[in-house]
Amino acid sequence: MHAKVIRLDGHSLSRAQLVEIASGAAQVELDPDQLDRVQRAADFLSEKVRCGEPIYGVTTGFGSNADKLLGSHRLRDELPGRKAQAHSQTLLEELQHNLIITHAVCVGEPFEPRVVRAMLAIRINTLMHGHSGIRVSTLQSLTDLLNRGVVPVVPKKGSVGASGDLAPLSHLALVLLGGGEAFFQGQRMPGAQALELAGLEPVKLSFKEGLALNNGTAQMLATAVLALDRLGTLLDSADLAAAMTLDAFAGRSGALREEVHALRPHPGQVETARHVRELLAGSTLVDIAYHLVPRFRGWSAQAWEDAQDQALGFDISWDWVPPSQRHGREAFYSRFLPFKGGKKHQPQDAYCLRCMPQVHGAVRDAWAQACRVIDIELNAVTDNPLIFPVAQSAQVIEEQVISAGHFHGMPLALAMSYVKAAIPVLASISERRLNKLVDPATNDGLPAFLIGNEDATDSGFMIVQYTAAALVNDLATRAHPASVYSVPTSANAEDHVSMGANEARHVLEMTEDLAHVIALELYTAAQALDYRQDMLNAARRLACKGDWQALAGKISNAPESGSPQRAQFESEVRQLAQSLAQAADFHAGAAVRAVHGQIREQVQFMARDRAMDGDVKTMCDWVLARLAGA
């Protein structure tokens, strides 16, 4: 039994509630006050039909048949010598039935159940407005379908996004009529069987009910909501990956400062910078003095005297900057000791780190704009024609049925086009950070491909970057907006369509590959962070032993004993030893450390090459599980 019930009234459904319904964590109930309005519209429509007025899709045909008024009986019954046939349906009822059975023509693999449950909830919610002409009994049957776990089989491809999602919504309604296929209790079966097992009866459609059920934006809206829910979490995950990478680089935090972003206050940019500052809080790696950071040197048997340190998979080293190379840089070397290790003497990081608030923030703004559009659509009427039965306020509304275009998906399509273009951007900057971590020319003193490789047998994380690059290319080639390419339908009666269903479906599918890229960055950054922390703390332990000569042995270009520069060198090595010994333990920010610990519960540090397929799958599954709230 479900612990939570969400009341649908056509006005207050939120994205978060829809995600709960889609996941199966909540059932729905119908607001009694709104049901009065629903029945009022159905009664009004029935009266209009009795009066013989032409109403699109009710007493006329659809699309290019809109100019054909339905008669009171079938023309074939008038053939000479033919007796009038008994029919189970009137022409008006047959029109609605035929609309559903002939429009259910989608192809491809079926949507997963969460998408279909979201579609059902959206359709029910929009019909609760009372402007569609559906009867309360039919709407209740649609609600029972959702609550009793009958999930219509809806193939993914076939909607042009105007007149709404006709084909996929017809698959949804087909099961209500006892046709099509459905999933019930995890099994795929004929729709009639699923209804019977759920204790439900097929529905016989009345005036306009077929049109009310299949004319709207429920598929594109359902996939858009689920895609945006995922992307919202992935934006936070991308910030986390970037923060871990910045810690692994012992990077600079100036580009994240609040006063910096106050000068260019794009909301997403400001929020991203704030979030990453929060993730890095407590880090002793970020903004570290240049001279403290050693660079990786391959392990050798002579690397360490202490037995504990002999177990390390690396050696460390610095270069000493002799006085002859300090001319014109005296001010710098008055602040920093004259040693070059892993950190280049530059005050700014690469764009993939320094411009991360601007890039992540721009994607966050695209996401926020799409959320604004989707929030409106969630509680909008999206079918046609619209029924205004009676005045509902002091303002008199003339009784009328109005043909309009609320089924057109362009508002959603363009919003999702924006998001679609943003996804490869977020993936691309993540891949660039990953690449920077594995490249010894750019990783600030970390080992090449993040592996010791003293025997020249190890590839380390080299090929992880290949996979990320392939995913980024795939995302980029899929980012072309579907919304810019309309293909007219219905004999040109529907001469401009949105293609919003394709757009939103693409975005939902693309979020999975984006999650994989971010997972690969986290996997790589965790390895890099281990190396950075271990190398720094090994240097600190060496300095804390009080043997400056042991530290001097880590200087690659130490002047020989007795040379004129030796005394100055020894003095400066002692200062380096003192700086390292006085430093606190080197570690990442508290939030980064926590997630790093979670990653290490999933996959272990890789000291030597091993099969990585299991690690990669585990990391990808872990990130996807975070999207699902696991």
User: Is residue 243, in this structure, part of any structural domain at all?
Assistant: yes
Q: What is the mean pLDDT of the segment spanning 254-283?
A: 98
pLDDT at residue 148, as a whole number: 97
- Spatial separation of the C-alpha atoms in residues 205 and 434, rounded to whole Å: 57
Which listed residue (56, 290, 418, 523) is catalytic? Answer: 56
User: What confidence category does residue 395 fall into, taking pLDDT thresholds of 50, 70 and 90?
Assistant: very low
Please indicate, yes or no, if residue 390 is contained in any of the structural domains.
Answer: no
* pLDDT score at 394: 44
150 plus 272 within the same structural domain = no
Instruction: Decide if 511 contacts 433 (C-beta within 8 A).
Output: no
Examine the domain organization and report whether 201 and 297 are in the same domain.
Answer: no
Higher-confidence position of 3 and 438: 438
389 found inside a domain: no
Cα torsion 529, 535, 539, 541: sign:
positive
**Residues 302 and 159 placed together within one structural domain of the fold:** no
Cβ(415)–Cβ(497) under 8 Å? no
**59 and 180 within one domain:** yes
| pLDDT over threshold 80, residue 139 | yes
User: In degrees rounded to 5, what are phi and psi of residue 390?
Assistant: -145, 165
Are 467 and 616 in contact by the 8 Å Cβ rule? The answer is yes
547, pLDDT greater than 90: no
Looking at residue 85, its pLDDT comes to 55
Q: Which of 258, 249, 413, 212 is nearest to 343 (CA)?
A: 249
Q: pLDDT by residue (tens digit) across 99-120?
A: 999 999 999 999 999 999 999 9
In a domain, 395, yes or no: no
Q: Residue 531 catalytic? A: no
- CB–CB of 345/291 below 8 Å? no
Confidence of residue 397 (pLDDT cuts 50, 70, 90): very low
Residue 93 contacts residue 154 (beta carbons within 8 Å):
no
- Give the model's confidence band at 51: pLDDT under 50 very low, under 70 low, under 90 confident, else very high: confident
d(CA 596, CA 287) in angstroms, rounded, equals 20
Mean pLDDT of the region 368-376: 98
The pLDDT value recorded for residue 80 is 67
Task: State whether 179 and 142 are in the same domain.
Answer: yes
The per-residue DSSP string of 506-572 comes to: HHHHHHHHHHHHHHHHHHHHHHHHHHHHHHHHHHHHHHHTT-HHHHHTTBTTPPPTTSTTHHHHHHH
103, part of any domain: yes
pLDDT digits (tens, 9 = 90+) for 493-518: 788 899 899 999 999 999 999 999 99
Residues 26 and 434: their CA atoms lie apart, in Å, by 39
For the chain, the C-alpha Rg in angstroms (whole number) is 33
CA angle 306, 310, 314 (to 5 degrees): 125
* 129 pLDDT more than 80: yes
Residue at 79 is within a domain:
no
Q: How many domains does the chain have?
A: 2
197 and 241 inside one domain: no
Domain termination site, one of 160, 184, 216: 216
Q: Are residues 289 and 208 in the same domain?
A: no
**Does one domain contain both 206 and 249?**
no
Domain membership of residue 238 (yes or no) is: yes
Q: Distance between CA 133 and CA 445 in Å, rounded?
A: 70
Contact in structure between 421 and 481 (CB atoms under 8 Å): yes
Structural domain including 544 reads: 228-370+413-489+496-627
Q: Are 260 and 300 in contact (CB under 8 A)?
A: no
Using one digit for the tens of pLDDT, what is the confidence trace for 5-38? 999 999 999 999 999 999 999 999 999 999 999 9
Residues 196 and 340 in one domain: no
Residue 404 in 3-state DSSP?
coil
Reported as a pLDDT band with limits 50, 70 and 90, residue 73 is low
What is the rounded CA–CA span in Å between residue 418 and residue 64?
Answer: 33
Burial (Cβ within 10 Å: 0-12, 13-18, ≥19) of residue 78: exposed
Q: Does residue 115 fall inside a structural domain?
A: yes
Note whether 250 and 271 are same-domain residues.
yes
CATH classification of the domain holding 139: 1.10.275.10
Q: Is the pLDDT of residue 84 over 60?
A: no
Chosen domain end from 184, 216, 248: 216
Residues 252 and 204 in one domain: no
Q: What is the mean pLDDT of residues 553-568?
A: 94
Same structural domain, 321 and 186: no
Domain stop point among 188, 216, 244: 216
Q: Could you tell me the CATH number of the domain that includes residue 618?
A: 1.20.200.10
